[in-house]
Amino acid sequence: MLGFIHTPILKSFDQTQMENSAYNMTLMMVGCVGLLLMLSKQGSAEQHVVGGKQGWDESTDFDSWASGQTFKVGDTLVFKYSPMHSVAELGSESEYKKCDVGSATNSMSDGNSVVKLTKEGTRYFACGTAGHCDSGMKVKITTVSASSSGSSSSNAAPTSTSTSTSTSTSGATCVSGSFAFMVVGSLIRLLF
């Protein structure tokens, strides 16, 4: 008789343990999906190559390029240029308009300068080579919050006056998000 009573208790215990295990596995999967989605959102920053294929060069129409760009917090600017050029970050719009490169807040001359856009606001860049800024080799970048959408037309000032291409990693967001949901769906089917 003892064996008869003991058996249903063991089955009940095993069933409860399996239900708890399935519940814990589901929670763990939901956590993994959340983590994947957070990581994929961080991967959505763009890299703007200033000047596009021409790079940071006097022949580039920086105003035209800038009019079609949206710069968001987390994006990066990449200045690619020859040794005859440099990049000077200017501290104010006044310095930008006057091409006052002598008072630059930051000067770069490595030929492949990367600038991370870390906060909202406007930043000004110009070539430090004599006469280049005056001939139009300068760019004004207005950075908006990472959650902003759309182009840089209505409220924002021209986001940049330099030609550049941008490379988006938002496709990775779609792929990793789809993958995460596929994995979760498969695991849920296995559990139930």
pTM of the model: 0.59
**Residue pLDDT, tens place only, 72-113:** 999 999 999 999 999 999 999 999 999 999 999 999 999 999
Contact 48, 164 (CB under 8 A): yes
Say how far apart CA 43 and CA 111 lie, in whole Å. Answer: 26
- The dihedrals phi and psi of 144, each to the nearest 5 degrees, come to -110, 170
**Residue pLDDT, tens place only, 115-169:** 999 999 999 999 999 999 999 999 999 999 888 664 443 333 333 333 333 333 3
- The dihedrals phi and psi of 159, each to the nearest 5 degrees, come to -75, -20
